[in-house]
Amino acid sequence: MESGCIHTAMAMGLTSKKPSARSVGVERKNLITVCRFSVKTLLEKYTAEPIDDSSEEFINFAAILEHILSHRFKGSGSWFSSDGQRSFWEYIRLACSKVQNNCIASIENIENISTSRAKGRAWIRVALMEKRLSEYVSTALRDTRTTRRFYDDGAIMLREEAQVLTGMLIGLSAIDFSFCLKGETLDGKSSAVIDYTPYLKFTQSYDYLSDEEDRRSVDSSNSEESVPEHPYIPLVTDEESWSNKCRKMEQRFKIVYAQKGYLEELVRLRESQLKNVETENKRLRAKVEELTVQTQQEKKELEAVVLELQAQLSALMPCDSSHLAKDLSIPLVNQWSTITNNQGDVKLFRREL
């Protein structure tokens, strides 16, 4: 009886672990999926006017990104931050410190932002205004040691979904953002809440029809009791709906064109940086070659000086010069005081280099 209970308990323990791993995977999938929807919504809603904190689409995106960066983040600790809670800002502050011209120090020095969570929210907004959010995240991911220090196993930042995230964030560089880093929007006391309702709207898809069903619908259309149209496929006859579609397509084209311009500018910037690095590399190589030649020349001059000193010492010593040359070593430092004492007023002159 006891063995049966033990087996039952073990089975329950195994089954209890599986839902935990599954739930972590589902969390990753849900957050990445809803982030993709949020970015797409921002791109579709964007016009010539910059997006600010009054945009519901941005508020939801910021909440989603905060949840992604906080997914499986290691627990709280009063020793780590001033507000007693660890947040993703502590990770970003360290992992993004190598980004050139970063905004980390500026955010740390903002007077009205004190909590770690508020600083993280300020960083999201500043990075979006700088159009460098994807660059920050990708740089942080390359620091794998720091990433593993702050996240538990199964976190989005430790999985391949993180690379998908950086790819999605590139598109936001085509949007202009404008934020005021004050007020209740950066309040670090309350956690961000994701609104899923904008992404739960059901849209009818026509992909559910297979070839066999298409043939059946064609066959049934030839019968007397057939219906001329499929009941689930709406007929678009309103001219306004077509004009709305045209406007949406035109807006999408503008967004894609803006993204294309940004990516082309980014490529030109990287090519310019590469040329500068190559020029600097050539300059350093030439400098190394110049120093090598100079070192060899100085070495030859020093060898000539040593030979000249040996010749002078050989002429001053009363003993046989061949015996002196045989016994004397090249370094004459230890023998200098003895020679000076024996010769008294003898002066040796060294050739100027």
* Tens-digit pLDDT profile for residues 273-291: 888 889 899 999 999 999 9
pLDDT for position 346? 43
pLDDT (average), residues 108-131: 91
pLDDT for position 315? 86
From CA 115, how far away is CA 83, in angstroms rounded?
5
pLDDT for position 217? 47
The answer, yes or no, to whether residue 230 has pLDDT greater than 70, is no
Determine phi and psi for 17, rounding to 5 degrees.
-75, -35
pTM of the full structure: 0.55
pLDDT for position 240? 64
Query: What residues contact 82, with CB distance under 8 A and at least 6 apart?
Result: 114, 115, 116
Mapped onto helix, strand or coil, the DSSP state of residue 316 is helix
Selection from 75, 62, 76, 5 nearest residue 34 by Cα = 62
Tokens of 73: 């983040």
pLDDT (average), residues 219-236: 43
pLDDT (average), residues 17-34: 83
Helix (H) or strand (E) holding 32: helix 2-45
